[in-house]
Amino acid sequence: MLDLQKTLPILSTILPQKVGMREHIEAGRASFLERFPDSEKYQPATYTLSILHPSSLVTELPLSNPGAWMFGREDEGMADKSVSKFHFALELRRDGTLTIQDIGSTNGTILNDKQIVPYEVVAVPSESVFIVGLLQISVKKR
């Protein structure tokens, strides 16, 4: 289980400060592959994140390789004052399980109408929706 209170300093050194989500995903995957070089043989489930601003679709991102990523308002498609600089983290495990963790955000994170306790790791069911500030992010398992 990913505990970001311990992992956050490590991830902060791995991930560049001002890059878009696609770069986060690739950096998270590269970091994961360094730690688990045999993971290429695993083919976990593929998820699509659709980030919606109240007025329009912001961006869609595929997650198909194991890794862990932090997201916040400086990332592509998440520029909104209601989103914390470091808001939440996702982890796609080798078994295909997707988890989310609020990393101490100001406005919190809501998964399927339930507030996530800060730093608690929660499994994300397929066809889920989570709220980050004013943004709605839908998750679909493909």
**Structural domains of the chain in order of their starting residue, each with its CATH number:** 4-141 (2.60.200.20)
List for the chain the helix, strand, coil content (%; round to 5): 20, 35, 45
pLDDT at residue 29 above 70? no
pLDDT of the residue at 91: 92
Q: Does 16 have pLDDT greater than 60?
A: no
Over residues 104-119, the pLDDT tens digits come to: 999 999 999 999 999 9
Q: Kindly state the percentage of the chain with pLDDT values over 70.
A: 65
> Taking CA 16 as the corner, what is the angle to CA 76 and CA 35, rounded to the nearest 5 degrees?
115
Q: Name the residue with higher pLDDT: 76 or 38.
A: 76
DSSP letters of 30-59? HHHHHH-GGGGG-----EEEEEEETTEEEE
Strand 67-71: give its sheet, edge to edge: 67-71, 88-92, 98-102, 122-123
